[in-house]
């Protein structure tokens, strides 16, 4: 007979495994259940959603919520979806172009005023953006940008985060390749476009995804600078939808599903980039 020790230890590890996975699954349920409920409710009829207590499954399975959303002239949800898509894409491109160029100058080029510019840019990281909303409102008002696409694309790109994030990344790149390119007679623009940017694809992808998410989800700014129903992005649009449908939850949840799908898909595809971006932003602190 073998000694009992290995078996005991084996079953102890097995038990710990079971406890670990039970905990992990219970937590997963807490994080996912609300999202699953959102989808379930979006597939109910109005009457089914009004039942007390609510039924677990959509019975009958109904396209009611989505039909309401797709043929709705007072709440043009599809239009909001397109506006959001366009705004977030353009915003993300604008951040990539402006932040990468500025970050390159701050990381690699020597010039008068570099220290001051960097200090000013980093300094604003400590100012809560919400405290600039009122003056920024007056500025976009002066520019006649209220209720236009530009108002949700451009001002947010002044954030210091992208510059800071890319500068850290550029500083971590080895100098040798740039030196070699200089010896080959490349100028700064060629080095930037042909050497530095191709080497920085992972960081650029991370920044692009994070900027897209931030813009797609922004709520506080657009509810005060967009007014016309056909100009809204999804977050303020959802607020309007809640206002007109109150407790007609299948419709409201269908809108929420539509607003969640692109970012959830983006998250599944770019999970590595998003999580790396977040953890790196923590390490710099």
> Scanning residues 62 to 121, which ones bind another protein (CB under 8 A)?
97-99, 101-102, 104-106, 109-111, 114, 117, 120-121
Of positions 6, 115, 174, 285, contacts another protein by CB under 8 A? 285
CB of 191 to another protein, least distance (A): 10
C-alpha count within 13 angstroms, C-beta hemisphere, residue 39: 7
Is position 137 an interface residue for another protein (rule: CB under 8 A)?
yes
Which residue in 206, 204, 212 sits closest to 96, CA to CA?
204
Of the two residues 1 and 27, which places its CB atom closer to another protein in the complex? 27
CB of 172 to another protein, least distance (A): 16
- Do residues 41 and 49 make contact, with C-beta atoms less than 8 angstroms apart? yes
Cα separation, 254 vs 257, whole angstroms: 5
Of the two residues 2 and 10, which places its CB atom closer to another protein in the complex? 10
Of the two residues 12 and 33, which places its CB atom closer to another protein in the complex? 33
Of positions 11, 189, 193, 244, contacts another protein by CB under 8 A? 189
CB of 53 to another protein, least distance (A): 5
Is position 251 an interface residue for another protein (rule: CB under 8 A)?
no
Per-residue mark of binding to another protein, 27-66 (x: CB under 8 A): xx-xxxxxx-xx--x-------xx-xxx------------
Cα separation, 76 vs 223, whole angstroms: 16
CB of 214 to another protein, least distance (A): 9
- Do residues 241 and 75 make contact, with C-beta atoms less than 8 angstroms apart? yes
φ/ψ of residue 54, rounded to 5: -65, 145
Cα separation, 123 vs 234, whole angstroms: 32
Is position 186 an interface residue for another protein (rule: CB under 8 A)?
yes
Give the Cα-Cα-Cα angle 147, 254, 58 (nearest 5 degrees): 170
CB of 31 to another protein, least distance (A): 5
- Other beta carbons within 10 angstroms of residue 220's beta carbon come to 11
Give the Cα-Cα-Cα angle 268, 273, 274 (nearest 5 degrees): 70
Interface with another protein (CB under 8 A), residue total 101
187-212: string of b/e by CB count within 10 Å (b at 16+)?
Answer: eeeebbeebbbebbeebbbbbbbbbb
Q: Segment near another protein (CB under 8 A), from 68-76, 172-180, 197-205, 269-277?
A: 269-277
Of positions 90, 148, 205, 224, contacts another protein by CB under 8 A? 224
Q: Segment near another protein (CB under 8 A), from 60-68, 169-177, 194-202, 251-259?
A: 251-259
Of residues 149 through 178, those in contact with another protein by CB under 8 A are: 154-160, 163
Distance from the first to the final alpha carbon of the chain: 58
C-alpha count within 13 angstroms, C-beta hemisphere, residue 111: 11
Q: Segment near another protein (CB under 8 A), from 2-10, 63-71, 171-179, 230-238?
A: 230-238
CB of 130 to another protein, least distance (A): 5
């Amino acid at each position: 007979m073998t000694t009992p020790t290995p078996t005991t230890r084996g079953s102890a590890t097995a038990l710990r495994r079971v406890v670990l996975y039970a905990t992990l699954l219970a937590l997963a349920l807490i994080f996912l259940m609300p999202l699953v409920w959102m989808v379930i409710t979006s597939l109910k009829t109005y009457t089914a959603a009004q039942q007390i207590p609510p039924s677990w499954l959509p019975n009958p399975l109904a396209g009611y919520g989505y039909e309401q959303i797709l043929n709705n002239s007072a709440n043009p949800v599809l239009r909001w979806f397109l506006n959001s898509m366009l705004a977030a894409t353009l915003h993300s491109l604008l951040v990539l172009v402006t932040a990468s160029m500025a970050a390159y100058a701050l990381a690699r080029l020597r010039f008068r005023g570099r220290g001051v510019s960097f200090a000013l840019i980093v300094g604003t990281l400590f100012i809560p953006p919400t405290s600039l909303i009122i003056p920024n409102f007056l500025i976009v008002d002066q520019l006649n940008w209220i209720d236009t696409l530009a108002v949700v694309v451009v001002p947010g790109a002044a954030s210091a985060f992208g510059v800071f994030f890319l500068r850290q990344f550029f500083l971590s790149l080895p100098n040798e390749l740039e030196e070699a390119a200089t010896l080959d007679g490349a100028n700064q623009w060629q080095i930037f476009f042909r050497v530095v940017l191709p080497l920085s694809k992972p960081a650029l992808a991370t920044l692009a995804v994070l900027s897209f998410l931030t813009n797609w989800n922004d709520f506080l700014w657009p509810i005060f600078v967009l007014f016309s129903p056909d100009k809204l992005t999804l977050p303020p649009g959802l607020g309007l939808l809640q206002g007109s449908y109150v407790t007609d939850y299948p419709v409201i949840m269908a809108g929420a599903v539509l607003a969640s799908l692109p970012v959830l898909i983006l998250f599944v595809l770019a999970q590595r980039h998003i999580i790396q971006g977040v953890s790196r932003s923590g390490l710099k602190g």
